[in-house]
Structure 1
Amino acid sequence: MVTCKNCNNILNDTQKYCDECGAKIIQNRLKPKVLVAQVNEQFICLDNKFLKTFIHLFTQPETVIIGYINGTRKRYIDVLQYFAIALTLAGIQLFIMSTFFKETLYFQNGFADGFNATTNSKENNPFKDLNPDSFNKYQSLIYIATVPFYAFGTWITYYLLRERQFNFTEHIVINLYYYAQVIILTAVTAIISSIFGVDYMLVSSLLILPTIIYLFYILKRIFKDNFWATLLRFIIVGFVAVSLLIIAGMLFAFLVIILS
């Protein structure tokens, strides 16, 4: 007899997984070979959770997201873990680009100069001291802070339209999976494009429309509405989320200026 180290459930010697919490039974001490096997199982092999989660969020997002909400949480990567992986990858992307491909980030300075030029006088421009690098510094925080705005947008829209099968927390789960998928896709695309010398601003601009369409696709698959009903809800969601983000963005910009 053995005891599960996660929930203390009593198990048979032949069991490989706990029938109480579902955790894998680890009987070997940590060694390099064991760590390599775990990394391979989780991230490299074709049948791992990460690859399965990533693919199925494109092909059958309702299975991943609704399954997690309803309690099926062993088949795919946990939503918070998946979002954490996305943030880690985004951090790696920023490090690689700012260290080895810094020229692909030069658009930021041009953007800032253009933004400053929109006012008649720099003295009257409240953003004249804005340092674009500050946004890179707080990149992960911005990603995390943005999710509740999208979640509120989807929740309030469907709530007012009397589609209330998911509460606000469950809408956060929906948006976390969506946002994590977008971050991973953007980070990987940015790294690959930087290797070939493609401007990051161009890549980001080209990804805007696909990510918008992807959110529409997720909402349609999850709520099972027809095209026009989903489009109406999507427009309302976008209006609410963008309005809140504009307000929050202005507040954040002023905060960055004060702290810089």
Structure 2
Amino acid sequence: MKCKNCNTALSKLINYCPLCGAKIVKKRLTFKNITAEINEQFFNIDNKFLKTFLHLFSQPETVINGFIEGTRKKYVNVIQYFAISLTLVGIQVFLMNTFFKEAMELDPNMFNPLGIDPESQKNNPFNSLQFEDYNNYQSVIYVLSVPFSAISTWLAYWVVGVRHYNFTEHLVINLYYSAQVIIINAFITIVLLCFDVDFMLISVITSIFIFAYFFYVLKRVFKTSFLISLAYFLIVMVGYGFLFIVLMIALGILAIIVMYILKKS
């Protein structure tokens, strides 16, 4: 008998491959087997998903540092956890576009108190964008935001001399953090929309949670005091803001070049 995942020769007495750790499937595939496996993976009180979710709140350093240091079986793999969170985003987008479409319709005059003349915005190429357009691309935005946050934490901690994590390990930190935030954000958004809570208020609530949880994760993972963690967090935010501005400038220049080429053609 051989492992179906890594082709390693196996004894008939073992249940897991000693090389890749995969579970040895001996029974024929049936609906009962699939149901049992789904229950074990997601609905059992001792399943890894629930344990990962709860421990990322109560002891995020155990989950994140454990994965970085080699503990890979106790919790859900960081890539799998992030993939699950993106699946939930897809469900959130579907529900919002289907049942809560009116909640995403922003008042076009909401920025008038800032002195913006609506007539002056007619030639703005971004003026036709609706919130629904942003909502439909949430998964892409989340995926693209992770490298930016990873670069920000890596640079910030490198500047202050805390360099025991390399960039890939900072990527793991930010993937676990982002996945947890995405899951909670999707759940809170849908629940509050069901109670007719204003979407802008929901955005404020979730934004506060996102920043507070990010600070909490960095404090626990790097095991620093409150004031030192706060200082590091502010440096990270400055770095993230700088990267965002650079990206916006680059996109602006690219947009100008594209418009110039189209105009000439």
Post-superposition offset of 1:228: 1.3
Structure-to-structure mapping, 1:1-260, within 5 angstroms: 2-106=1-105, 109-110=106-107, 113-115=109-111, 118-120=115-117, 121-123=120-122, 125=124, 127-248=126-247
Which shifted more, 132-141 or 76-85? 132-141
Deviations 1:166-203 (A, max 9, x none): 11111111001001100000001111112222222212
Post-superposition offset of 1:71: 1.6
Q: TM-score, normalised by structure 1?
A: 0.89
Q: What CA distance in whole angstroms lies between the structure 1 residues aligned with 2:83 and 2:4?
A: 24
State whether residues 42 and 48 of structure 1, in contact with CA within 8 Å, keep that contact through their aligned partners in structure 2. yes
- Where does structure 2 lack aligned partners over 5 or more consecutive residues? 260-265
Post-superposition offset of 1:231: 0.9
Q: TM-score, normalised by structure 2?
A: 0.88
What is the SS of the residue equivalent to 1:3? Answer: coil
What is the SS of the residue equivalent to 1:182? Answer: helix
State whether residues 154 and 171 of structure 1, in contact with CA within 8 Å, keep that contact through their aligned partners in structure 2. yes
Q: What CA distance in whole angstroms lies between the structure 2 residues aligned with 1:51 and 1:205?
A: 27
The letter for the 2-side match of 1:119 is: I
Q: What CA distance in whole angstroms lies between the structure 1 residues aligned with 2:178 and 2:254?
A: 24
- Where does structure 1 lack aligned partners over 5 or more consecutive residues? none
Q: What CA distance in whole angstroms lies between the structure 1 residues aligned with 2:202 and 2:179?
A: 18
What is the SS of the residue equivalent to 2:23? Answer: coil
Post-superposition offset of 1:161: 1.2
Post-superposition offset of 1:243: 2.7
Mark the CA change 1:253 to 1:40 in structure 2 (over 3 Å): closer, same or farther: farther
Post-superposition offset of 1:82: 0.6
Post-superposition offset of 1:152: 0.8
Over the aligned positions, Cα root-mean-square deviation in angstroms equals 2.4
The letter for the 2-side match of 1:54 is: F
Q: What CA distance in whole angstroms lies between the structure 1 residues aligned with 2:103 and 2:253?
A: 26
Which shifted more, 20-29 or 87-96? 20-29
Aligned residues: 255
State whether residues 186 and 204 of structure 1, in contact with CA within 8 Å, keep that contact through their aligned partners in structure 2. no
Partner of 2:262: none
Q: What CA distance in whole angstroms lies between the structure 2 residues aligned with 1:223 and 1:11?
A: 41
State whether residues 62 and 218 of structure 1, in contact with CA within 8 Å, keep that contact through their aligned partners in structure 2. yes
State which structure, 1 or 2, has the greater radius of gyration over its C-alpha atoms: 2
